[in-house]
């Protein structure tokens, strides 16, 4: 099995019967409940857990986990990451990809300058940003660069197969 994909986080306890608030990282917040079982990370690692119920509460989501019937049991899971197996994610068309697919890709500009490797992505509100860890011998002494993920404008091509992202971006001078 591949590394689990984090899709949310358990929040504060809700009520006395073991319900928890859910912070969803999925595009449609309630889409997190489409994935079963969840993998929840506790002090011992990942463990499978079923969601026995969920509902909207005001502007948030709350859930009831199987075998968690008391507030104290739920309290032990607050702040725990929620993940699913990568195999549980839907397949995408050839020209689309998940963020996790971009991590580890080499980034170079259209003139061949090698910026380094994507270490993570950030969501800023206006646009997503590639965080690129620079090569040790970076000619400009950079440790990392933030490159806006603006398709067509900055991102010229993404080749997941060869793990290369080509950008129209100049090195920092």
- Give the domains, in start order, of the chain with CATH numbers: 5-87 (2.40.30.60), 99-167 (2.30.30.240)
Helix (H) or strand (E) holding 130: strand 128-133
Torsion of CA 27, 31, 34, 40, to 10 degrees: 80
Whether residue 141 is predicted with pLDDT greater than 80 in this model: the reply is no
Q: What is the pLDDT of residue 111?
A: 92
Predicted confidence (pLDDT) at residue 167 exceeds the cutoff of 80: yes
Tell me the whole-structure pTM to 2 decimals: 0.69
How would you list the strands of the sheet with 60-65, edge to edge? 45-49, 38-42, 81-84, 5-14, 19-24, 60-65, 51-57
């Amino acid at each position: 099995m591949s590394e689990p994909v984090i899709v949310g986080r358990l929040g504060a306890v809700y009520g006395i019967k073991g319900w928890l608030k859910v912070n969803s990282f999925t595009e449609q917040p309630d889409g997190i409940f489409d994935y079963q079982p969840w993998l929840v990370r506790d002090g011992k690692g990942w463990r499978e857990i079923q969601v026995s119920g969920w509902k909207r509460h005001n502007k948030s989501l709350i859930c009831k986990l199987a075998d968690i019937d008391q507030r104290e049991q739920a309290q032990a899971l607050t702040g725990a990451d929620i993940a699913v197996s990568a195999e549980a994610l839907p397949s995408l068309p050839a020209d689309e990809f998940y963020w996790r697919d971009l991590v580890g890709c080499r980034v170079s500009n259209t003139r061949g300058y090698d910026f380094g490797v994507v270490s993570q992505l950030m969501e800023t509100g206006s646009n997503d940003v590639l965080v690129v860890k620079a090569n040790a011998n970076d000619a400009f002494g950079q440790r990392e660069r933030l490159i806006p993920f603006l398709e067509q404008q900055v991102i010229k091509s993404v080749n997941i197969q060869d793990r290369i992202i080509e950008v129209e971006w100049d090195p920092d001078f």
